Amino acid sequence: MDPEACTACAECAKVCPVVKPDEYQMGLSSRKAIYIPYPQAVPCSYILNMEDCLGTNPIACGKCTEVCEPDCINYDDHDRIVTRDVGAVIVAIGADVYDPTEMDEYGYTRFDNVITSMEFERLICAGGPTLGHFVRPGDQERPKRIGFIQCVGSRNPAIGRPYCSNICCMNTIKDTLLLADHYPDVECTVFYQDIRAVGKSFEDMFQRSKEAGTRYIRGLPGDIEENPENGNLTLIAENTTSGQIERHEFDMVILSVGVGPPKDLAKVSSLLTLSKTSDGFFMESHPKLKPVDAPTRGVFFAGFCESPKDIKDSVCQAGAAASRAVALLNAGEVHIEAITSVIDADACKKCGVCASVCPYSAITWKKGEVAVVIDAACAGCGNCGAACKFDAITMRHFTDAQYTAQIRAILAEDPQDKVFVFACNWCSYSGADMAGISRMHYPVSNRVVRTMCSARVSEEMVLEAFRCGAPIVLVSGCHYADCHYISANRQTVQRVQRLWNKLEKAGVRPQRLQLEWISAAEGAKFAKVMAQMEELRKTVTMEEIEQAKAALKPKPKKPKKEKEPAAVAG
């Protein structure tokens, strides 16, 4: 369809012979294969769903083209990939409303007169399938006794949704007020765990709902029964205020469904290297101080995909995200941290390993030629620096010399008491911070050193820690899906595998080297792993430590002169 040419005259839909459930109306009415999603749609144009349409090639139907005066229907139109350069990305991919099919105890699939709060919206709406005449699906009669069940798909760890969806209490309160306004004879009863009415003027709405006659019963129903004669429903619930098991009969039951992360989240997440919190929503840079910034620079969050929130809060966050993006766009330029890789042309043996491990293709190399780093493309993960066997690569600000000095200083005294930890900047180090912010306690034995990526941890760095007497070395990084350098941490796995082999060959217990993926949200996992490492440390004897020190001594070779290329003008 050509949205510019379409006049939304509706002639096409009148002749279309295909009938499908209308998604906008929650399947409560039907649409054609050619249709407008709803009258106020933007763009205001009919769309042709090719999966539903009969006529492609050869044209089997073609009725709509015959009546389309502006001639805007094109069966051969197809999806196109559009490329645009942008300086900021705002992720506002929203949420998915909970489908209560799996929670059979409320009979959503079994009983006609059990509906969701989303279906209620369509049934009460003047633009809905019943033109706003509120009837129950079973017999098209107007229900008088209506029961609401709260927290369907929220605050329920058993179905993997332990969080509060934020909006459902107020939405139900709104529904009861709407019903009281439209039909004064309606009796509403709400079964709830807690009523969360904490926004501006929300408590006032709650009080008005009670004054309008809505009964609030604390306790969620455990069972539902249908009277097959008249389609009425009986809810059986423990009223936790009185401690009594109560039975209440209704004409209709509305499940106040929660809202969860959208199913497209994983796709967008891997595209922009974002992380999610344990509840499945996007993880922000800082829960208090950078609530709309993603850890990936230039990416910002707005709306439900970051955490459950209502319209007002979504609008507030949208403004905040826009403001953060404007600050970036107006600045017109960004400073790239001076942490890129630098190749020493004299030391380079032209092997090309660096180019093969670079996740960004930021190193160009041709057989027989010195490798060259493209500065603007380098993200500074350090994978090439760790992979180079000839000490020809220096990671600016994270040099081998800096790490060696740091390892030696930290392990200078009583190394046998210490668990040596390499933690990647984006996930594991942040996870360690998260443990701190959450005041989780763990054994004091660990000493953490930060690397940009776990793939920066070279074999030499691990061996150096053992040579300095570390009983345990832990390499930690992002989970596979979260790696902030695309897939650099796969190289970490290979390096650790090689180290296990090497240690074993040298007679060093390979268990003394450990590997863990700890995300920025997994403070609890960091604390747990630290406790496990301390247990493991206690099993390492002084003899083992001394044996490793001797066995892992570096082969004598020319001392390396590392010059970190300094790029300061003044």
Partner 1 sequence: MDSDPKGDELRVGVFICDCGLNIAGTVDTQAVTDYAATLPDVVCAIRNRYTCADPGQNEIKKAIAAHRLNRVVVASCTPLQHEPTFRTCVAEAGLNRYLMEMANLREQCSWVHPGDLEGATRKAKDLVAGAVARARQLHPHDELTVPVTKRALVIGGGIAGMETAIQLGDAGHQVVLVEKEASIGGIMAQLDKTYPTMDCSI
Partner 2 sequence: MATMENFKCMLCGYEYQELVEEGEDKERSCPKCRSNSIRHLKARPSQDKTNGKGKKAKQ
Instruction: Scan residues 88-117 and list those touching partner 1 (CB under 8 A).
Output: 88-95, 97
Q: Would you give the binding string for partner 2 spanning residues 316-335, x where CB under 8 A is met?
A: --------------------
Tokens 């009223």 -> residue: 239
Query: Minimal distance in Å, beta carbon 527 to partner 2?
Result: 14
The nearer residue to partner 1, 68 or 302, going by C-beta atoms, is 302
Site size for partner 1 (CB under 8 A): 115
The continuous run of DSSP H or E covering 397 comes out as none
> Which 410-449 residues touch partner 1, going by CB under 8 A?
410, 412-413, 418, 425, 429-430, 432-433, 435-437, 439-442, 444, 447-449
Dihedral (Cα; 300, 305, 306, 312), 10-degree rounding: 90
> Least CB distance from residue 443 to partner 2, whole Å?
16
Neighbours of 424 (CB within 10 A): 33
Q: How many residues bind partner 2 (CB under 8 A)?
A: 28
Q: Which does 481 bind (CB under 5 to 8 A by kind): partner 2, partner 1, none?
A: partner 2
CB of 323 to partner 1, least distance (A): 7
**Interface with partner 1 by CB under 8 A: which range of 171-179, 230-238, 463-471, 553-561?**
171-179
CA 293 from chain center: how many Å? 14
Q: List Cβ<8 Å contacts ≥24 apart for 11-15.
A: 11/67, 11/68, 11/69, 12/46, 12/64, 12/67, 12/68, 12/73, 13/46, 13/64, 14/67, 15/63, 15/64, 15/66, 15/67
Cα–Cα dist 12/7, whole Å: 11
Please give the full DSSP string across 14-78, using - where no structure is assigned.
HH----EE-TTTTTSSEE-SEE-S-TT-SS---EE-TTT-S-SSS-S--HHHHH-SS----TT--
Please report, as residue ranges, which positions from 432 to 491 form the binding site for partner 2 (by CB under 8 A).
Answer: 479-481, 487, 490-491
Q: How far is the CB of 418 from partner 2 (least distance, A)?
A: 18
Q: Residue 174 interacts with partner 1 (CB under 8 A)?
A: yes
Region near partner 1 per CB under 8 A, out of 67-75, 308-316, 483-491, 536-544 = 308-316
- Record the tokens describing residue 532, joined without a space: 């496990």
- The answer to the question of residue 527 lying near partner 1 (CB under 8 A) is yes
Radius of gyration from C-alpha coordinates of the chain:
31
* 385-424 residues near partner 2, rule: CB under 8 A: 387
Tokens linked to 454: 């776990």
24 binds partner 1 (CB under 8 A): yes
74 contacts partner 2 (rule: CB under 8 A): no
In angstroms, what CA-CA distances link 229 with 102, 139, 187?
A: 26, 11, 22
CA distance 226 to 149: 16
498 binds partner 2 (CB under 8 A): yes
Q: Count how many Cα atoms sit within 13 Å of the Cα of residue 522 in the half-sphere of its side chain.
A: 20
Check: CB of residue 221 under 8 Å from CB of residue 104: no
Backbone angles phi, psi at 383, to 5 degrees: -60, -45
| Residues 353 to 412 in contact with partner 1, rule: CB under 8 A | 375-376, 396-397, 399, 401-403, 405-410, 412
Cross-strand pairs, 514? 474
Which of partner 2, partner 1, none interacts with 303 (beta carbon under 5 to 8 A by kind)?
A: partner 1
The minimum distance between CB 240 and partner 1, in angstroms, equals: 26
459 binds partner 1 (CB under 8 A): no
Q: Note whether 47 and 148 are within 8 A (CB).
A: no
Whole-angstrom CA distances from 467 to 498, 516, 547, 552 are 17, 22, 10, 6
Of 116, 150, 256, 317, the residue at the interface with partner 1 (CB under 8 A) is: 317
Residue in the structure block whose two tokens are 């209560």? 100
Among residues 154, 166, 171, 519, which is the contact residue for partner 1, using CB under 8 A?
Answer: 171
Q: Is 513 in the site for partner 2 (CB under 8 A)?
A: yes
Q: Which entry of partner 2, partner 1, none binds 159, CB below 5 to 8 A by partner kind?
A: none
Listed ranges 101-109, 316-324, 459-467, 543-551: which one lies at the site for partner 1 (CB under 8 A): 316-324
Among 78, 80, 263, 335, binds partner 1 (CB under 8 A): 335
Nearer to partner 1, 357 or 435 (CB): 435
Residue numbers at the binding site for partner 2 (CB under 8 A): 353, 356-357, 387, 479-481, 487, 490-491, 493-494, 496-498, 500-502, 505, 510-511, 513-517, 532, 536
